[in-house]
Amino acid sequence: MQTACPSCDHVIEIPDLKAKQLAVCPHCNTKLLSSQANQDSHIVALSLSAIVMLLSSMFYPFLSFTSSGITQTITLPDAARILFNYDSDFLGLFIDVSIIGLPMFLLLLIIPLHLGLLKALPYLWGKRLLKMTFALEPWIMSEIFLIGVMVSMVKIMSMADIEFGVSFYSYAAFVICYVSAIAKLNKHALWQQIKPPVYIEQTKPNTRAIDQGLRACHVCGQLGDTDICVRCESKTFTRNPYSVQKAAAWLITSIACYIPANIFPIMYTTSLGDETPSTLIGGVMILWNSGSYPIAMIIFLASVVVPLAKALVMSFLCFMVARPANRQTKSYTRIYQLTEFIGKWSMIDVFVVAILVALVQLGNLMSVTPGIGTVFFTTMVICQMLAAHAFDPRLLWDNPENLKTAKQETLV
């Protein structure tokens, strides 16, 4: 197989892999391809199990909250439904889509794709399904929601009795099956079912594609020298158009949301008729003062430090694009990959608020309502994710001549 590394643009010749073998770019250590025995059957089995567990988690008690003899029990869909009741439509829709809707839809796509559907479908429908599958995966946050549930339980465990329902264990099993299935996805093998890769003659391995007048399709990875990919018919570019500008625009928007996300309350807690606002830092301090040091550190890192660090890192990377590659470029690439990976984990605090709002509803005795800070925080995390996705890491390896070529191509 011929391809260009999506991180550093070096042309790589990958031989046929045996089971449990992994292909890694020798220049930047980016994972390119993996192979496992009985991969399709494993993915189908895990996906079916995940669907069964997700459906099971929808109809039974998820969590129970008991305080002063009053019990509040919620199901999984209640996390979003109660947010709708408080006119937090944006948050309710986001939670419904990211932890239930998208996972179910993606699993329903994955199963037929690994049962040979791509060979039976017309070419046009097959490529659309594959594009949709790989575009949806980064926006599914089921595993983050599960961590958010655990954190929210620690927050309120000292003030009430908490009981995990059958649905909680079903959802935990779903997350395990889902993550295992996604980890086994083989993008190259799926595209090969639609159309085998076209081999380009006279390429020079271990040199960069841009130096040979080649470009790798950002959708299917096919190497070519035309404006249209010969395998999936997507428009190809030497570099993603306006990559730095798009990343900078999303980054500036996220920074603009970061300030109100930390100033405005993310939730209000009512106890015996007395309403108390809680900001991100305030919530961390409450956990710290109650002795929950590990959870306080996790929330502080995920909600305060990581978003600020991502903004600084992405700003630095956008600045380094204008400088020629050097011996530190490999480290910059690793930093970018880490930033992209941890992007959505900052969403933990949003899910904590959603669970608390859904669970703690005991009238004037005790209740939690969402604050405007949660909307700003959610928007900030989404913008940072979009900034990371928009950034093209290959620009870090370019020299000024490459940048001029890519800019001229974009203008044309």
Given this model, what pLDDT does residue 49 score?
A: 94
Most confident stretch, 228-237, 362-371, 402-411? 228-237
Among the residue ranges 54-68, 210-224, 248-262, 269-283, the one predicted with the least confidence is 269-283
Asked whether the CA dihedral 272, 274, 278, 284 is positive or negative, the reply is negative
Distance between CA atoms of 234 and 227, rounded to whole angstroms?
9
Domains of the chain: 240-412 (1.20.140)
**Residue type at 388?**
A
**What is the structure's pLDDT at 365?**
67
Q: What confidence tier does 212 reach under pLDDT thresholds 50, 70, 90?
A: confident
Structure confidence by residue, pLDDT tens digits, 97-134: 988 999 999 999 888 888 877 777 788 888 888 888 88
Q: What is the pLDDT of residues 134-185, one digit of tens each?
A: 888 888 889 998 888 888 887 777 667 788 889 999 999 999 999 999 888 8
Which H helix or E strand runs over 270?
strand 267-271
Beta carbons of 130 and 109 less than 8 angstroms apart:
no
Average pLDDT of the chain is 82
pTM: 0.83
- pLDDT at site 252: 93
Token digits of residue 273: 């008729």
| Whether the predicted pLDDT of 292 surpasses 70 | no
Instruction: For residues 99 and 54, give the distance between their C-alpha atoms in angstroms, rounded to a whole number.
Output: 10
Check whether 296 has a pLDDT greater than 80: no
